[in-house]
Amino acid sequence: MKKTKTVPKEYSILIGGAAGQGSRMAGLVIAKIFNRMGYNIFIHEDYQSLIKGGHNFSQIRASSKKILSHKDEADFILALNEDTIKKHKEKLSKNGTIVFNQDKISFEGGVGVKIETIAKESGGLSIMSNTALIAAFAKIAGIDWRTLEDVLKKEITKGVEKNLEIAKKAYASVESLAKIEKIKNKPKPLLTGNEATALGAAKAGLENYFAYPMTPATGILHYLAGNARELNVAASQLENEISVINAGIGSAFAGKRTMVGTSGGGFALMTEGVSLAAMSETPILIVNSQRSGPATGVPTYGGQSDLLFSLSSGHGDLLRFVAAPGDAEESFYWAGKLLNMAWKYQSPAILLTDKDVSESTFSFDEKILNKVKKEKFSEWSGKGEYKRYLNKANGISPMAFPGQPGAIVKGTSYEHDEYGISTEETADIVKMQEKRLRKFEAMQNEIDKMKEAIEISGNLKSKKAVICWGSAKGAVKEAAEDLGFKVIRPIVIQPFPERQIYEALKGVSKIISIELNSTGQMEYVLNGCGIEADQRILKYDMRPFTAEELKIQLKKA
């Protein structure tokens, strides 16, 4: 008997308004309502570089299956302002519904709700009108009042009773047009990629975090600062990224597990620090959350254009770990893994994420929490004469920290001998260069044996393979798997898992490379291994892929 394919229960909701109207918070509340009802969640955030005005929107996707991207179509469009209808009405699905702010919008069709009037007549603030819109949507979608009330009580921290009063009036003012049913899945935590990064690093023993606010990495700073006591992490905002990287290196030199975070422009200022960390063999984790460029670019939008920059960051002969997670769970895991690897190999490590991982919200599987812990490193025993750069067979010298009895600890940007004393003698230079090369060889050997360095999914027997990386994961997997393609995604990109990639490509006759940049940067990496793509799909409007648009392009391939 032929197996029937299970069709997932799924809904797509777009909510939009001007900056300052609270569309993002309203979108998160709607997502938490669906989460409470058992649905998996993904939220894509789109906002302009403005404090007030302009147009912001959130796209919430709720599904009975695991999802990692948003959809082109929306079953419900919730409009706080007229721009939302003008810009998005073409996205409304065939049987979709528009719910709009009738106090500000004149529109034929859909359901108008006087959300500002309801808020004002209840004695509430104007921002509370988004509570009225949420409540009206819940009634129209057939979501019961108890579920809505429970979520509002949990999520609203100020004016709870007033918001509930407004919600009741708005809920009563409309009729149900649908009935969204609860499903049996257990609700999962909802985390952004930034929050997951912070938690993963903390689980691996993070003690200090330094940053200068730069979209889209700023959420890490906010989250760690807001939860500093619970996570036992000190979060500090400094005056610029040069200060950040140097403070981070100083912190790690003193024995504290340290992470710093920024985006491309800030990372450009940090690159001399990457070389300093490599030469002084100081372990540090750097988060580079990509946004569009060059220069300021489109500062609140994303892309994958910092790959080659990250792989070659710092001057001189040096290697660093670079890993690119594709969702919140991977952000958690690789933040912890890279922090441990940085300490194990006394090298810089870069977590290369981007706006669409950092600021999107995902359902988070708590099973991954047990996969990260603080791991041991090569620590000086305290016996005998201490040499900071002891020339060991594997290149990894025991570490001591300032203040330890019996140890004179040096850290230097100059080439040095085993004690850390500057040298220009050719024999010493060669010895230390070769010491670091052995360390890099050990790093490559570990990656070669690491199964999680790449992900292979889709139709494993297909002769057509898609290669992607980072935030393209969700849309690519969904589209390629529906069409029967094999999907190969390197997660660790330096040292590159070349052996695993070759193994994954056995039997493949056609390779399609998919990236969110205009030059095909992953192709340069593949070309260096003798691998050439037959076709490329590139997107560089600074918006993420959707599965629907990729299906169209993959069918052409």
> What's the per-residue H, E or C state across 474-504?
HHHHHHHHHHCCEEEEECEEECCCHHHHHHH
Q: Between β-strands 208-211 and 258-262, what pairing exists: parallel, antiparallel or unpaired?
A: parallel
pTM of the full structure: 0.96
Cβ partners under 8 Å of residue 427, min gap 6:
none
Q: What is the pLDDT of residue 1?
A: 43
Nearest to 281 by CA among 409, 374, 449: 409
Cβ partners under 8 Å of residue 342, min gap 6:
283, 284, 285, 321, 348, 349
Q: What is the pLDDT of residue 214?
A: 97
Identity of residue 132: A
Task: Give the DSSP H or E segment for 99.
Answer: strand 92-101
Nearest to 141 by CA among 81, 92, 78: 78
Instruction: Note the helical H segments in 9-159.
Output: 23-36, 82-88, 115-121, 129-140, 145-155
User: In the numeric block, which tokens belong to residue 384?
Assistant: 């005998």
Give the start-to-end residue ranges of the domains of the chain.
10-172, 190-371, 451-556
Which strands sit side by side in the sheet containing 510-515, from one edge to the other?
454-458, 486-490, 464-467, 510-515, 535-538
**Any idea which fold 451-556 has?**
Rossmann fold (3.40.50)
Q: What is the pLDDT of residue 4?
A: 47
Q: What is the pLDDT of residue 109?
A: 86
pLDDT by residue for the chain (557 residues), tens digit each? 444 455 679 999 999 999 989 999 999 999 999 999 999 999 999 999 988 888 999 999 999 999 999 999 999 999 999 999 999 999 999 999 999 999 999 898 899 999 999 999 999 999 999 999 999 999 999 999 999 999 999 998 888 999 999 999 999 999 999 999 999 999 999 999 999 999 999 999 999 999 999 999 999 999 999 999 999 999 999 999 999 999 999 999 999 999 999 999 999 999 999 999 999 999 999 999 999 989 999 999 999 999 999 999 999 999 999 999 999 999 999 999 999 999 999 999 999 999 999 999 999 999 999 999 999 999 999 999 999 999 999 999 999 999 999 999 999 999 999 999 999 999 999 999 999 999 999 999 999 999 999 999 999 999 999 999 999 999 999 999 999 999 999 999 999 999 999 999 999 999 999 999 999 999 999 999 999 999 999 999 999 999 999 999 999 88
Q: For 512, which DSSP code? A: E
Helices 160-172 and 129-140: crossing angle in degrees, nearest 10, is 40
Q: What is the DSSP string of 362-382?
A: EE--GGGGGG-------B--S
Calpha distance 107→261 (Å, rounded): 45
Kindly tell me the sign of the dihedral angle through the C-alpha atoms of 489, 494, 499, 500: negative
What CATH architecture does domain 190-371 belong to? 3-Layer(aba) Sandwich (3.40)
Q: What is the pLDDT of residue 5?
A: 54
Q: What is the pLDDT of residue 53?
A: 87
Contact present, 190 and 362 (Cβ < 8 Å): yes
Q: What is the pLDDT of residue 7?
A: 62
Contact present, 22 and 156 (Cβ < 8 Å): no
Q: Between β-strands 40-46 and 535-538, what pairing exists: parallel, antiparallel or unpaired?
A: unpaired
N-term to C-term CA, the chain = 32
Q: What is the pLDDT of residue 157?
A: 85
Identity of residue 461: K
- Alpha-carbon Rg for the chain in angstroms: 26
Contact present, 92 and 103 (Cβ < 8 Å): no
Calpha distance 273→212 (Å, rounded): 15
HEC string of 46-58? ECCCCCCEEEEEE
Q: Between β-strands 361-363 and 454-458, what pairing exists: parallel, antiparallel or unpaired?
A: unpaired
CATH topology agreement for domains 10-172 and 451-556:
no
pLDDT tens per residue across span 127-166: 999 999 999 999 999 999 999 999 999 998 888 999 999 9
Q: Which one is the CATH code of 10-172: 3.40.920.10, 1.25.40.80, 3.30.70.3420, 3.40.50.11740?
A: 3.40.920.10
Q: Between β-strands 486-490 and 454-458, what pairing exists: parallel, antiparallel or unpaired?
A: antiparallel
Q: What is the pLDDT of residue 177?
A: 92
Q: What is the pLDDT of residue 6?
A: 57
Cβ partners under 8 Å of residue 80, min gap 6:
15, 16, 17, 18, 21, 22, 23, 26, 101, 104, 115, 129, 130, 133
Q: For 240, which DSSP code? A: S
pLDDT tens per residue across span 198-256: 999 999 999 999 999 999 999 999 999 999 999 999 999 999 999 999 999 999 999 99
